[in-house]
Amino acid sequence: MKSPVLIAVVVVVVALLAYGLYQGLVVAPTEQTMGDVQRIFYYHVPSAWTAFLLFFTNLIASVWYLIKRTSAADAVAVTTAEVGVVFCTVVLITGPIWARPVWGIWWTWDTRLTSTLVLWLVYVSYLMLRRFSAGGQTPVLAATLAIFGFAVVPFVFLSIWFFRTQHPQPVIGGGGSIDPAMWRAVLWNWLAFSAFAGLLCWLRYNLERKQRDLEETLALEALMENAGDRK
């Protein structure tokens, strides 16, 4: 695995993450009312975007698997779901850390918070289904669940939006002027996080493929041994 390409990619990703950190902690100005705690947004928002991108990739890979039944599509699906859950967890942890000093509460059942939580629950259940189902059926069952998970997202958003309209609007995208340096920090970090997620997915994907090859080889060997015994 220690190919020069991999080493180059790791170096680039680390450099991007470091530059993103620099942009977020040093270059971006301190927010007027919230102070330095607002800087967690440079991790929070890019993680959320990355997680949603990964979940969307999971949906496409799942549909692709159901149409073409290729092992590679399923490997992409499991990889993106796992890495997506990790990034979604980061979102759910950094959110309350920010909310406690700013809103005075750790958690509120606001539309975006609750939708993200439900999305996280859906994908954790997806991973549990993969863990619990046996053998060759796993990809098909998981792919159908991924489609259900995607179909439910608009309902979650609509229902909770109607349920809790009185809650504070998110800072970014909620109107008002934002310093361009802050936007730059968000975008740089998004690039860095996406690259980092891509690297993780690549490694995880290779691992998954190797694991499958190994399983196939072992099954073949067992078959051949059985055939040898019979002679």
Q: Where on the chain is the footprint of another protein (CB under 8 A)?
A: 66, 118, 121-122, 124-126, 128-129, 132-134, 136-137, 140-141, 144-145, 147-149, 151-152, 155-156, 158-160, 162-163
Cβ distance to another protein smaller for residue 10 or 121:
121
List CB contacts of 178: < 8 A, sequence separation 6 or more.
172
Run of H or E residues at 106: none
For residue 123, the minimal CB distance to another protein (Å) is 9
Give the closest residue to 159 by CA, choosing from 121, 115, 195, 120.
115
Cβ distance to another protein smaller for residue 132 or 231:
132
For residue 65, the minimal CB distance to another protein (Å) is 10
Give the closest residue to 54 by CA, choosing from 201, 208, 203.
201
Encoded tokens for 218: 């072992």
Residue with tokens 């055939």: 227
For residue 126, the minimal CB distance to another protein (Å) is 8
For residue 59, the minimal CB distance to another protein (Å) is 13
| CA–CA distance, 35 with 229 (Å, rounded to integer) | 74
Cβ distance to another protein smaller for residue 122 or 186:
122
For residue 77, the minimal CB distance to another protein (Å) is 15
Cβ distance to another protein smaller for residue 51 or 195:
51
| CA–CA distance, 75 with 129 (Å, rounded to integer) | 15
Cβ distance to another protein smaller for residue 15 or 219:
219
> First-to-last CA distance in the chain?
40
